[in-house]
Amino acid sequence: MDVNFDVKHGLEGVAVAISSISYIDGEKGKLVYRGFEIEDLVENSNFEETSYLIWFGSLPNENELDFIKSMLSKKRELPKKIVKMMKELPKNAHPMDVLRSAVSLLGIYSEKTNSSLENAINLTAKIPTIIAYWYRIKNEMKLIRPREDLNHSENFLYMMFGEVSEKSDIFDKALILHAEQGMNASTFASTVTASTLSDLYSIITTAIGALKGPLHGGANERVLKMFEEIKSIDNVENYIDSLILKGEKIMGFGHRIYKTYDPRARILKNWIKNLFINERIEYFEIALKVEEYVIKKFKNKKIFPNVDFYSGILYNYFRIPSEFFTTIFAMARIVGWTAHAMEYKKNNRIFRPRSIYKGPKGLKYREVKGVEN
């Protein structure tokens, strides 16, 4: 009987899998990948090495690191037919829509393999190329082919802007921060697709669709829009008050698990603070004021900045347009998504929850009078 089921709205407090990929302590503000604290990894590791750690469960030795680096750098180029199709798309298409569609096309045009790991590496290598190519197609600029001699982040920034950034290591560390985060909305959505034994390209297409929403990864784009609209530090309080009055959420704040400061937001804020010592970082002063005011206003609800609050300021510093912010998130999170899909399939059971029916019952079909078939 339906009445015996309890609805867990938004699945709050429900565990759907046993995982050894990452651990979050929402009260203490800790994030751990495969036993390593995120602070340790961003300080000492790089994106390729952390990807290996997330996929394989332990840090690579020298040969294993060479292997993963070489696989990721050799698989960057896209099939020509996909590039041709991307050139036909309307220039105002949102980068997340383009990414979702191109990943779906990769499921058709990539070499057929049953190895989820090979597919995971293939997607991780190609997503930056999709993003950079779309940026250049949209802006009617000549495409810049990937370079195998550059690391993942250096190559991405090079394909976007045609130069090797001196600060690509900060960008690389931001990718580490975004690579994994337990059973969040997009990971759960993609795990549902994985549980039907669908292929990795379908799984990741699902994940990208879920990440795009403003309550999830799409928040970072909205945060920058908010800073643009606030314009000046003097306008912060009025602006936030007007959002509260309209009952709107403040983008980049709040989290289902973190009931204290999101450790990723803290790390990003500190990096930006250090950059700010030598140069003016756009929107940083406004952000600090917004943070102070929102925390004060929502004292009783324990609402703090999440990862999306400060990430946009950093991407903006790298000249990445706000429309592209969520694609950068996806470029990192592909590692977590694919790791969870592979882990779940080892002990697979299809997801099949229930909904409680509250609609009418016992109705009888009645033909519509006066309508001729």
Q: 216 catalytic, yes or no?
A: no
* Closest residue to ligand ACO in the complex (CB): 254
Region 217-246 residues binding ligand ACO, contact defined as CB under 6 A? 217, 219
Closest separation between CB of residue 252 and ligand ACO, Å?
A: 5
Binding to ligand ACO, residues 308-337 (CB under 6 A): 308
147 contact partners, CB below 8 Å, separation of at least 6: 155, 158
Angle (CA) 324-157-87 rounded to 5° is 55
Q: Shortest gap between Cβ of 247 and ligand ACO (angstroms)?
A: 8
Cβ(240)–Cβ(252) below 8 Å: no
What are phi and psi for residue 283, nearest 5 degrees? 70, -5
Exactly one of 30, 256, 266, 345 binds ligand ACO (CB under 6 A); that residue is 256
Within a 10 A sphere around the Cβ of 231, how many other Cβ atoms? 12
Give me the amino acid identity at 276.
Answer: F
Here the tokens at position 315 are 């991407």
| Annotated catalytic residue within 178, 262, 308, 340 | 308
User: Distances from the Cα of 336 to the Cαs of 24, 131, 322, in angstroms?
Assistant: 14, 19, 23
Q: Binders of ligand ACO among 184-203, rule CB under 6 A?
A: none
Query: Contact between 204 and ligand ACO (CB under 6 A)?
Result: no
Give the DSSP letter string of 137-164. HHTT-------TTS-HHHHHHHHHHSS-
Q: Which two tokens stand for residue 27?
A: 């009260």
Q: Is residue 10 a contact point for ligand ACO (CB under 6 A)?
A: yes
Which residue in the list 178, 255, 262, 340 is annotated as catalytic?
A: 255
**Options 135, 188, 253, 325; binder of ligand ACO; rule CB under 6 A:** 253
152 in active site:
no
Binding mask 272-311 for ligand ACO (x = CB under 6 A): -----------------------------x-x--xxx---
Q: Which residues contribute to the site for ligand ACO (CB under 6 A)?
A: 10, 215-217, 219, 249-256, 301, 303, 306-308
Which residues are catalytic, by number? Answer: 255, 308
